[in-house]
Amino acid sequence: MTLTKLFDGYAWKARLLVAALVALPVLIVIPWTTNAIGFQVNPWLLNPVVQAAVIILGSLVVRQLGVTAEVAMKKEWGDFPSTLIMRESNPQKSSVWKARMRKLVKQKLGLTLCSPQEEVENPGEADRRIRDAFDKIRTRIWGKKNLPTHTANTDYGFARNLYGCRWIWIVLSLTCSVVVAVIAIEKHLQLPWFEIVACIFMAMIIPWLEWKLVKPHTKHCAYRYAEYAWEHLEKMS
Task: Please tell me the distance from the alpha carbon of residue 32 to that of residue 38, in angstroms, as a whole number.
Answer: 10
Residue 83 banded pLDDT, cuts 50, 70, 90:
very high
Q: What are phi and psi of 194, to 5 degrees?
A: -60, -50
Computed over every residue of the chain, the mean pLDDT equals 91
Percent of the chain having pLDDT more than 70? 93
Which amino acid, one-letter code, is at 86? M
At 39 the pLDDT is 67
* pLDDT at residue 184 greater than cutoff 60: yes
Kindly give, in sequence order, each residue whose CB lies less than 8 Å from that of residue 133, ignoring residues fewer than 6 positions away: 105, 109, 111, 113
Its pTM surpasses 0.95: no
Task: Work out the average pLDDT over 97-115.
Answer: 96
Which DSSP string do the residues of 77-114 spell out, in sequence order?
HSS-HHHHTTSTT-TTS-HHHHHHHHHHIIIII---PP
* pLDDT at residue 227 greater than cutoff 50: yes
Least confident window among 51-55, 190-194, 230-234? 51-55
